[in-house]
Structure 1
Amino acid sequence: MKLGVLTNVIGGTPLKEALPYFKSLGAQMVELGCGGYPGKDHCDPKILLHDEAKFQEFMNTIKESGLEVSALSCHANPIHPNKELAKQFDDDLHDAVLMAEKMGIHQINTFSGCPGDCPESKNPNWVVCAWPNEFQEVAEWQWNEVLIPYWKDFVAFAKSHGVNKIALEMHQGFCVYNPYTLKKLRAAVGPEIGANFDPSHLFWQGIDPLAAIRDLGGDAIFHVHAKDTKIDPFNAPIDGTLDYRTYGDPLNRTWVFRSIGYGHDELFWKDFVSQLRLVGYDYVLSIEHEDILMSQNEGLVKACDILKRAITFEDRATGQHWV
C-alpha cells in the first residue's frame, strides 16, 4: 500500500514545486485534479491534450519527482439539472478520460452526480427519505431516467479509451452516498463502477467505515481517500448530523472534517488499513486535506505522520506454516 496526496490542497503552487514538497512529507503517489470541483491547477486537459510540448514537460515533471499518479480527480455533477453546468462537468469528465488515456492511467475519481426531481428542475434534489411517497417517485425517476443511462453511456466511452475504473466518492448531495447506492449503480451499469472510498463522508452518516469496507469488498474499492471527520460532542446530541450550516462555522456545526488523527485515533487508522488489506485492496491512501482548524502544511504533516505508521507498505508475508 502507498501513501498519496490529492494535490489541489496547494493548487496555487506550481506542480514543479508541489511534487517535491509532497515527496518530502513521505508521499509516494499523487492524485491530480483535472476538472470539476478540484479544478485544473496541476493538470489542465484543455492545454495538455493539444500542446505536445507542454504535455511532455508535464510528464517529465512527474517522472523527475519520483512520484506516481494514483488517479485523475474530476469530481463533478454531470447530471446537474442546470444544462449549462451539466455540460461543463460532462466535458471535464470526458477530457479527464482522454487525459488518463494519454498518460496511460486506467482510472478517474469523481461523483455520481445528482439531478433534479423532473426535467424542468433548476437545482439538484437529494432524496434521503422514503416518505412522503413522492420522494420515492423522484428517486425512481432520477435513477431510471437520468443516473443509470448517463453512467452506462459514460462507461462505454471510458472503456473505449482504456479507462476501466470509474471511482465514485460516496458523498452527501449525490445519488451515490453509501455502500447500498454504490452497489446499486454498480449492479445496473457494470464492474467499471467502484468506490473512491472516503471514510470522512461515512462517519457523519453513522456508517462504520470498517464494516463498509467488508461490505463492498476489494473488487469494488478502486481508490481510497484519507480524511477524518469529528462528530461534535456538544452540537450533534442536540441537532443530529444532518447539518446544512457552512463548513466555515465549525463552532456551531454538528460535524466537521479533520486531519487524520483528529477525528479518530491512530488505532482506528491501523484497523482501517488492515481491513482494506483483508479484502484485497493494496493500492493507495490519498490524503484529502480539508481541516479548517489547521494550516495546509500542518494538516498534511500530521496526517502523513500518522499514516506512515498505520500503512503497511510491504507485501504481506506468505508461508506454508499458516496452512
Structure 2
Amino acid sequence: MTLSYGAYTACLHDLPLGEALDVLKGAGLSGAEVNAGGFIPSPHCPVDALLASAAAREEYLGVFAEHGIALTGLNTSGNPVSPLPNEGLKHAEDIRTTIRLAGLLGVKEIVTMSGTPGTDASARYPSWVVNPWNGIDMEILDYQWSVVVPFFKEVDALARDNDVQVCLELHPRNLVFNVPSFERLIEETGATNIKVNMDPSHLFWQQMDPIAATRRLGPLVGHVHAKDTAVLPGAAYRGVLDTDFGHVPAQAEGKVPVAYGYWCNAWPQDPAWRFVAFGLGHDTEYWTEFLRAVAEVKPDMCVNIEHEDAGYGNVEGLEISAGNLLRAAAGL
C-alpha cells in the first residue's frame, strides 16, 4: 500500500466537474475531494439529486472513472453549532446529509469542523475563546462543550451507521482547533468514527508541528490536506492572533461566502502569515518527512491539495502545489 495524491476541487469551482478532474489528472494527481455543503457552494456535487437516485449516483461516479480520478472525500466545512440560524442549523444538516451521501457513494471520509457556539444559550453570534485566563472564559467554554459534545455524539452514531469517518479540521475559531481539544472531544463523546483532517496550514501559524501532531494522533488521523503557510515578518509586531482585518463591501466581486449575508474579510497589507502554494512555505525535505509520518499512520492515505494562495491563479497554483507534493513524495 502506498500514499496517493489528489486535490480538493473548491479552487476549481468555476470549471465543470469533468474539466476540473482533467486539471487534476494533468497535474499528475489521482484523487479528488469535492464540496458538498457548509461555508461554500458545491458546484461539483449535486447533493439532492444524488441522494434521490441510485442511477444518478452511478452516473456521477462514472464521471470520475471516465477521467481516471478517484472520489476520495466529501467536504462540508462549516459551523454546525453556530447560534446564527442561517449558519448553524444549515451546516449541521449539511453534515448529516453528507454522511448519508458518502455512505451511498462508498466514500469513506468526509471533512468538516467542530464549529463554535455562542457564549451562552442566549448568544446571537459564535464566540471563540482564544486564551481563557479569565474565569469568565471557563464558564463560556463549559457551555460550549455542553453544546458540541452531544452534537458530535449524534454525528458519530450516524457516521458509524453509514460506515463513514467524519474528519475534523483543526481550524482556529473552532472549539476543536488543536490536538488537546480534539483528544478531549474523543474522550467526552466516546466517538469511534470521528477523526482529524490533518491540515498543516493552520497548525503552522499556531506554532505547532504537523509532523509531531500526526505522530501523536496516530490512527486518529483520518484525512490529510496538503496545504502550506508562510509566517511573515509582520508576525514580529502583529503576532499570529492579529485582528487587523478590513470589511469587504457587499458588492465586491469574488468575495468568499461563509454564511448567508457574511463573507471573508480583507487581510492587512503586511500580515503575520498567509497561505501559500504547497511547498512555498516549507521545503521538500520537510514535506517528505510529513508524508512519511502520514504513511506510518495509514499507508494508503490519499493526500489532497487544498489551494488557497491568492498570489496565483487557481489552476496555476494547483499545478505548482502538485509538482511540489509529488517531488516530496518521490523522497519517500
TM-score (norm 1): 0.91
Could you tell me how far apart the structure 2 residues matched to 1:260 and 1:86 are?
Answer: 31
Residue of structure 2 aligned with 1:291, choices 309, 312, 315: 309
Could you tell me how far apart the structure 1 residues matched to 2:19 and 2:63 are?
Answer: 10
Amino acid at match of 1:236: A
Structure 2, unaligned stretches of length 5 or more? 247-264
The answer to whether 1:103 aligns with 2:121 is: no
The residue aligned with 1:12 is 14
Structure 1, unaligned stretches of length 5 or more? 317-323
Alignment RMSD, CA only? 1.7
SS at match of 1:58: helix
After superposition, what is the alpha-carbon deviation per residue over 1:93-122, rounded to whole angstroms, capped at 9, x for unaligned?
Answer: 111011111101222110011100101111
The residue aligned with 2:24 is 22
The residue aligned with 1:231 is 231
The answer to whether 1:301 aligns with 2:319 is: yes
SS at match of 2:82: coil
Alpha carbons 1:221, 1:281 under 8 Å: kept = no
Q: CA deviation at 1:39?
A: 2.2
Q: CA deviation at 1:159?
A: 1.6
The residue aligned with 1:126 is 128
The answer to which of 38-47 and 291-300 deviates more is 38-47
Amino acid at match of 1:271: E
Identity of aligned residues (%): 34
Could you tell me how far apart the structure 1 residues matched to 2:282 and 2:166 are?
Answer: 28
After superposition, what is the alpha-carbon deviation per residue over 1:113-163, rounded to whole angstroms, capped at 9, x for unaligned?
Answer: 1100101111111112122111011111111x2000000011112222222
Alpha carbons 1:225, 1:287 under 8 Å: kept = yes
Aligned length: 310
Alpha carbons 2:156, 2:192 under 8 Å: kept = no
The residue aligned with 1:147 is 148
Q: CA deviation at 1:284?
A: 1.5
Alignment of 1:266-281 (within 5 A): 266-281=284-299
Amino acid at match of 1:130: P
Could you tell me how far apart the structure 2 residues matched to 1:279 and 1:51 are?
Answer: 36
Alpha carbons 2:114, 2:174 under 8 Å: kept = yes
Give every structure 1 segment of 4 or more consecutive aligned residues whose post-TM-superposition deviation is greater than 2 Å: 51-57, 243-251, 277-282
After superposition, what is the alpha-carbon deviation per residue over 1:42-78, rounded to whole angstroms, capped at 9, x for unaligned?
Answer: 0121222124443332121111112111111111211
Alignment of 1:1-323 (within 5 A): 1-143=3-145, 145-163=146-164, 165-189=165-189, 190-217=191-218, 219-233=219-233, 235-244=234-243, 245=245, 248-249=266-267, 251-311=269-329
SS at match of 1:49: helix
SS at match of 2:138: helix
Could you tell me how far apart the structure 2 residues matched to 1:279 and 1:10 are?
Answer: 30
Could you tell me how far apart the structure 1 residues matched to 2:159 and 2:85 are?
Answer: 22
Alpha carbons 1:2, 1:311 under 8 Å: kept = no
Amino acid at match of 1:155: D
Amino acid at match of 2:98: A
Q: CA deviation at 1:294?
A: 1.0
Distance change in 2, residues 1:250/1:264 (3 Å): farther
Alpha carbons 1:97, 1:158 under 8 Å: kept = yes
Distance change in 2, residues 1:230/1:308 (3 Å): same
Alpha carbons 2:277, 2:308 under 8 Å: kept = yes
Alpha carbons 2:6, 2:33 under 8 Å: kept = yes
The answer to which of 44-53 and 255-264 deviates more is 44-53
Amino acid at match of 2:235: A
The residue aligned with 2:261 is none
The answer to which of 12-21 and 287-296 deviates more is 12-21
Could you tell me how far apart the structure 2 residues matched to 1:270 and 1:158 are?
Answer: 32
SS at match of 1:55: helix
After superposition, what is the alpha-carbon deviation per residue over 1:217-247, rounded to whole angstroms, capped at 9, x for unaligned?
Answer: 1x110010011101112x1011111123267
Could you tell me how far apart the structure 2 residues matched to 1:77 and 1:223 are?
Answer: 19
Alpha carbons 1:80, 1:123 under 8 Å: kept = yes
